[in-house]
Amino acid sequence: MFHYVNSKKLICMNSNKSIHKHKLDGITGDRLNRLHDSPPMLFYRGIEPNELLTRPTVAIVGSRKMSAYGRAVTEKIATELANAGVVIISGLALGVDSAAHRMAVEAGTPTIAVLAGGLDNIHPSSHTDLARSILSANGALVSEYPEGMPPMAHQFVARNRIIAALADCVVITEAAIGSGSLHTAAFAIDLGKPVLAVPGPINSSLSEGTNQLIKTGAELITNVDDILNAMHLVKKDRQQNLFGNNNSETAILIAISKGITDGSMIQEASNLDSIIFAQTLTMLEINGKIRALGGNMWALK
């Protein structure tokens, strides 16, 4: 049973986590409003999406019936991305999705699960504990559907467009021809976002989708550095410099790491008002995270 508390918050009386209504503003709005059929709002449980999206984000999707190879590849990539501070986004499905979420949770890094039904309808139900773990690790469950809405077949494809829109890039670790993850790749391409795929054995039907993506233009990846390079992020040995003491610092550091050096452009990319931006910039310089280049130009130190 749910009760309205105010225009933005709903409380589930059978859960210790609130369900919130998130109007599409900030970073979340910027990304979802690029869709041809943007949802009017998101429902979320856990950390507000705008806070998580100040970090680099990678969608990891793929086969529900992954092979041992697919599992090994997914767990390795997800673990290394999470250890680099990247927020992993996926769909809480069987196979690749759940493996990616689990590795993020084990690394202690927030992860975002996009559901195809209401947040009170975890699907599959066997992933209820995983959903709780995501919330405990300061991640989020999000959906465009209100509570009480069961996951319908067409909503899984619709869910994939949100995964693609929220992520900086989409990584497919293993997928057969016809896999739903190929829809996610198509949405990412439509949004102009990088699509990266792991090559697989040519005699495996579960690698036919990823191999085909590579042949038609997806970037072939064999390690995490390939992904970080595609995102224009600094190498892993400098990832610790990307995360500050609060979300404002992190937003500025990530903007600079992407090659933005002009102060006014950094402020625009970090989505901070002028007073908070100036204060945060000063603290980052004092703490040795960034250095002034002169002429309101900045770089990581």
- What is the reported pLDDT for 177? 94
Distance between CA atoms of residues 171 and 210, nearest Å: 10
pLDDT value at 178 more than 60? yes
Is 158 or 258 the better-scoring residue by pLDDT?
Answer: 158
pLDDT value at 208 more than 60? yes
The encoded tokens of residue 226 equal 């390939």
Global confidence as pTM: 0.75
Strands 298-300 vs 87-90: parallel, antiparallel or unpaired: unpaired
- What is the reported pLDDT for 17? 62
- Looking at every residue in the chain, the average pLDDT score rounds to 88
The encoded tokens of residue 254 equal 């990530």
**Taking residues 107-113, what's their average pLDDT?**
94
Distance between CA atoms of residues 31 and 272, nearest Å: 17
- What is the reported pLDDT for 13? 25
Is 83 or 99 the better-scoring residue by pLDDT?
Answer: 99
Q: Does domain 238-300 have CATH number 1.10.10?
A: yes
- What is the reported pLDDT for 7? 24
- What is the reported pLDDT for 2? 25
Q: From its phi and psi, is residue 296 left (phi > 0), alpha (psi between -120 and 50) or beta?
A: left
- What is the reported pLDDT for 299? 80
Distance between CA atoms of residues 132 and 113, nearest Å: 11
How many beta carbons lie within 10 A of that of residue 169, not counting itself? 18
Calculate what percentage of the chain has a pLDDT beyond 70: 91
- What is the reported pLDDT for 49? 93
**Taking residues 273-283, what's their average pLDDT?**
92
**Taking residues 56-68, what's their average pLDDT?**
96
Calculate what percentage of the chain has a pLDDT beyond 90: 69
**Taking residues 30-54, what's their average pLDDT?**
93
- What is the reported pLDDT for 298? 85
pLDDT value at 207 more than 90? yes
- What is the reported pLDDT for 243? 67
pLDDT value at 123 more than 70? yes
Residues 6-31: pLDDT tens digits? 223 332 323 446 788 777 888 899 99
How many beta carbons lie within 10 A of that of residue 150, not counting itself? 12
- Could you tell me the pLDDT band of residue 242, with boundaries at 50, 70 and 90? low
- Could you tell me the pLDDT band of residue 256, with boundaries at 50, 70 and 90? confident
Distance between CA atoms of residues 276 and 7, nearest Å: 27
Distance between CA atoms of residues 255 and 253, nearest Å: 5
Strands 169-172 vs 57-61: parallel, antiparallel or unpaired: parallel
Distance between CA atoms of residues 35 and 190, nearest Å: 9
Residue with tokens 């969608």: 59
Topology (CATH level 3) of domain 2-230: Rossmann fold (3.40.50)
How many beta carbons lie within 10 A of that of residue 259, not counting itself? 10
**Taking residues 94-107, what's their average pLDDT?**
96
Is 264 or 12 the better-scoring residue by pLDDT?
Answer: 264
Tell me if the bond preceding 146 is cis, omega within 30° of 0.
Answer: no
- What is the reported pLDDT for 295? 84
**Taking residues 244-271, what's their average pLDDT?**
86
Q: Give the start-to-end residue ranges of the domains of the chain.
A: 2-230, 238-300
Residue with tokens 């009760």: 3
